[in-house]
Amino acid sequence: MSQIFDFFFGQYSGYDTIDITLEIIAVIFGLLSVLYAWFNKIWVYPTGIISTIIFVYLLYKWSLLGDMMINGYYFMMSIYGWYIWTRKTANEVTPITKTSTREKFISIFIFLGSILFVYLVYLYNDKWNSNYAYIDTLTTAIFFVGMWLMARRKIENWIFWIIGDLISVPLYFYKGFTFTSLQYLIFTIFAVFGYLEWKKIWNKRAVGV
């Protein structure tokens, strides 16, 4: 039993207690955020903002630049998404819709632009040779698109979250952050159910129910 515990949590032996506590708090609020997104609730943003602020601090301290930028981007998009979700048109808040052709092109632009940007950041800080830099760059681009689509209440955002979460589970475990790895495992499950829930809401709206 001790060997199993050491395998999953042994890397925390050299961490400060405050950092471990902050990571757990960030994970809890991150899970709450995805849970609220699943049920299409505006609380997805305030809970997400708390999680991202903590992670930005921790990831900067741990020199994980790509991850830090993801969370910094989440913070900014959470402000934007909070505004979009509360904006009313014809006495109705922004509805759940599918991605238009124009938005698909924008998504491609965000994806490619994100890859280039993160690559340059890693290159500038001489960290491109790290074992996880390539995967980190890919997941950053995936999550950038997913967050933008979620802010605009597009069903397809969940597909990007599912793909990115599945990649992040082993990635964060490899980096030594077991709690965050478990968070992404649960994120994956939430994202699947979130996609199904949003699709059900969209179908009802499409048939005028």
Residue span of the structural domain in which 61 resides: 2-206
pLDDT, one tens digit per residue, over 7-42 is 556 666 667 788 889 989 999 999 999 889 888 888
Q: Cα dihedral sign for 74, 136, 163, 166?
A: negative
**Lookup: tokens for 37:** 């997104």
- Cβ pair 64, 175 in contact under 8 A: yes
| Number of domain units in the chain | 1
Averaged pLDDT, 64-83 = 83
Name which residue leads in pLDDT, 64 or 90: 64
Contact (CB, 8 A) for 147 and 74: yes
End-to-end CA distance of the chain: 53
